[in-house]
Chains A and B, each alone.
Chain A
């Protein structure tokens, strides 16, 4: 429903731009002094796209108490997240997770997280205060941003833009949350004229431990400090160059569901963007983007009881460099978008384990250093084309993408036993083909039918290829990479009906079916071959390709017309994942005594059916808007036997908030999350390390946010 509203706004903007440009921008030589060339504007939603797209708008970003983008994403239908601590919730979209979900910054910037335990998923390196819009595209249909397998999240940051009226503007934000005594402060300055423009921003977040609804204190504190600067220059009226740099640091971030805590995580992101509109007879537009991102991640277990026996310290450096060149070619009355892109990842990391032993009054210290990655490299070069054309009343969009992927590592580690090469040759190459086809048709009156099919292929990640003995998945097992993995492919079909009525609102219902082949999952390696190196890990699993799994699900949404004073948003969504044949190990008296095949085993980490409702009402000439949210989440009893997953009881939560905007320059947002202090946990919340206890969500939280603009 957010999608529908934002789509309408975008369509109006596009319509106005089109009207304006038809008179003024019909040719380069007719450009006047007042012409402002805008960057490419992408329009999603009912009117143009055949596949599901959700957009989180600045309105939502400003009215929520957001400490983490992953937490915000969970509010979208069929989007959930894996919680391991107070922040850095890892998004799961329609059951696709980790690298099956592509998370980008500004439509092209990629970040390689440093932590093998995914303490720092991509979205955790960006602060919500710097975000202007988030796009969530479900399915492998949009191929111009790089390889996409299950879904894509595009985080659009606040970038500087040319302004006809020179000046400097600013925004100051202060937010407070009770329960975990959290504060966030943010300041931003932006200015310039129609030639040179800039913005700078910075902020701090400090949160303590939160209490759950059953009064248990969760060790979830964290600190974050960040800053960014960006500048733009209009080379010509139709050409723009911009440069941006962001620094983001996480410090003392606790993860009770992981064996270590984050000591420090330092991220540097820099990117350069050049765009030209109407670049000639053939080229409607050309855009070049290049970026560099670097993550230095240090984690340890020094604040854990386990450190008394064995201390562990891990340091990882990850660098991602890349770029893309895209252009829109005029072909008759239609446009074809073509482009090439490149991504290069370097990753290196070590783990140091220290054990102290008291014997006969003497202290003996044993130390072991191991490589998590050793100068590991990943290169991906891609080319794509996308064509949109109306055919006999059907809006069609077709896309094709080819990727050449290569990876290698300087590992000296080898694991070959009984003739089985578990970890040996590290070089691998693959040529991946992805394509999609989308159709949209107005079938009757206010009814639209949308359908899309596609195949998204992704190469195995650095973690899946080369990681050495770290607990990186749902279960507590240590995982070993597999350089010989094949790319994972998702063949997916989506179909939906939209009912768009100006008086009655918008209703949309759709379903999807996804067949994933060469699905990457963990398979236990016997302890006679290798034993775990992480305390609490019951054994070692290695990433392998399994034949296939399938996922299916639906989303249903209703949104009232935006013109009305009251607004109602209803969502219902669910995903069901199944592995036709999975191996389950039989455990007797703590010993693995055999194995059996489980038929149609549910996939692990799939959230249950959820229904959500949001109601708001505009009062006092729209200056006061109270809101109420209710979430009903069903029990999840479709659990993976092969992964030893646990059932999760259903729950209901409610939240209220109000936005008061007495002046254009000031907004006050206050609210209560989890009003009834319900003790609950999401199905995807991990277990607290060393126990079977699940990580609960925060109890009741009062929050207030003040935003001043000048």
Chain B
């Protein structure tokens, strides 16, 4: 065999090998999915007290019960954001992420750019769950800050706080007393001791918020922006007046107090389209 012949055979064999490998790699290629006309949606979250932007750490607010209060932190989760189309179908956000953390102290969390593409069409309304639904609210599912700081103790029901509003109110003695206005899984106790050994049942306190006036039209390649506003004052009134002097600063182990907060949550949020 001459050298030239030898090299030629070698090159041919190598080529066949590599082509065989390439062909075997291509055999499972999946067909490309058809492109559905769609657009994107962005939420900008805004926190207010009585129609005014929230000013933190200033004792300038008072609620319907007459408590003077200040706010230091506002942190909460919303989940399962849903867009209802007028043909009866709906799009539930969750292709990428389905639980969103919002924190007044972290500006990035106040803009939610949904990964999901929203199909074109006429939409009637938007809703979301305030907090995290039971099947998704699993302990240790968040291990990184800031979400991990929302952990709700296992013995009190586990999972995560739905909401933490921290601040102070002026108590009857005239002192600024801290409050932890926290919402999460509630507990039912056999007695009034709040001893964790006497817990006999847990109560899921998450609820659905339907945003009034949230109809819109989605066009192909459009990006729509909505401003979602939380009026903190509403947590303390309508339909129930929440009195810090009655419930004290910590409500995590007081289901009746959390039930009051939950029922006050129905009109805390409003929506405005940004143009």
Contacts and interface: CB of A to CB of B under 8 A. Distances in A.
A4 interface: no
Contacts of B141: 531
Interface in A445-495: 449, 451, 453, 455, 489, 491, 493, 495
A534 interface: yes
B26 interface: yes
A453 B17 contact: yes
A439 interface: yes
A322 B232 CA distance: 67
B25 A548 contact: yes
A518 B26 CA distance: 10
A439 B6 CA distance: 10
A493 B15 CA distance: 9
Contacts of A437: 13
B3 A443 contact: yes
Interface string A607-624: 000000000000000000
A529 B113 CA distance: 18
A355 B160 CA distance: 13
A548 B22 contact: yes
A392 B151 contact: no
| Chief secondary structure at chain A's binding surface | strand
A367 B154 contact: yes
Contact of B112 (A365, A366, A392, A591): A591
Interface stretch (A174-182, A223-231, A286-294, A356-364): A356-364
Contacts of B20: 491
Interface string B1-43: 1010011001001100110111011101100000000000000
A518 B25 contact: yes
A282 to B, nearest CB: 31
A531 B141 CA distance: 6
Contacts of A310: 143, 148
A446 B36 CA distance: 66
A366 B139 contact: yes
Contacts of A309: 148
B97 A491 contact: no
A394 B143 contact: no
Interface residues of B, number: 45
| Chief secondary structure at chain B's binding surface | mixed
Contact of A594 (B98, B115, B252): B115
A42 interface: no
B175 interface: no
Residue of B22, B180, B252 with highest tally of chain A CB at under 10 A:
B22
B252 A359 contact: yes
A592 B95 CA distance: 11
A386 B3 CA distance: 25
A592 B21 contact: no
A360 B153 CA distance: 12
A588 interface: yes
B64 interface: no
Contacts of B99: 527-528
B143 A527 contact: no
Interface in A503-518: 513, 515, 517-518
B83 to A, nearest CB: 16
A589 interface: yes
Contacts of B158: 366
Contacts of B28: 547
Nearest to A363: B153
Given A589-B111, A591-B113, A528 B95 contact: yes
B27 to A, nearest CB: 10
Contact of B21 (A360, A489, A536): A489
Contact of A491 (B17, B113, B153, B250): B17
Nearest to A365: B154
A355 B144 contact: no
Contacts of B155: 364, 366
Given A357-B153, A517-B21, A593-B115, A394 B13 contact: no
A140 to B, nearest CB: 11
B43 to A, nearest CB: 11
B144 A515 contact: no
Contacts of A236: none
A167 interface: no
A589 B142 CA distance: 19
B241 interface: no
A368 B153 CA distance: 12
Interface in A84-129: none
Contacts of A495: 10
Contacts of A513: 18
A493 B95 contact: no
Residue of A489, A526, A591 with highest tally of chain B CB at under 10 A:
A591
Contacts of A357: 151, 153
Interface string B155-172: 110100000000000000
Contact of B97 (A368, A528, A534, A589): A528
B247 interface: no
Nearest to A368: B140
Contact of A526 (B97, B111, B148): B97
Residue of B24, B99, B115 with highest tally of chain A CB at under 10 A:
B115
Given A533-B140, A547-B28, A591-B97, 12 more contacts: A310-B143, A353-B143, A355-B140, A394-B1, A439-B6, A451-B14, A489-B21, A491-B17, A515-B21, A535-B148, A548-B22, A592-B115
Interface of A: 309-310, 353, 355, 357, 359-360, 364-368, 392-394, 437, 439, 441, 443, 449, 451, 453, 455, 489, 491, 493, 495, 513, 515, 517-518, 526-528, 531-538, 547-548, 588-594
Interface of B: 1, 3, 6-7, 10, 13-14, 17-18, 20-22, 24-26, 28-29, 94-99, 108, 111-115, 139-144, 148, 151, 153-156, 158, 180, 250, 252
19 contacts: A309-B148, A310-B143, A310-B148, A355-B140, A355-B151, A357-B153, A360-B180, A367-B154, A489-B21, A491-B18, A493-B18, A515-B21, A526-B94, A526-B95, A528-B94, A535-B144, A548-B25, A591-B108, A591-B112
Give me the 4 closest cross-chain CB pairs, A-B, nearest first. A364-B153, A491-B21, A366-B154, A517-B25
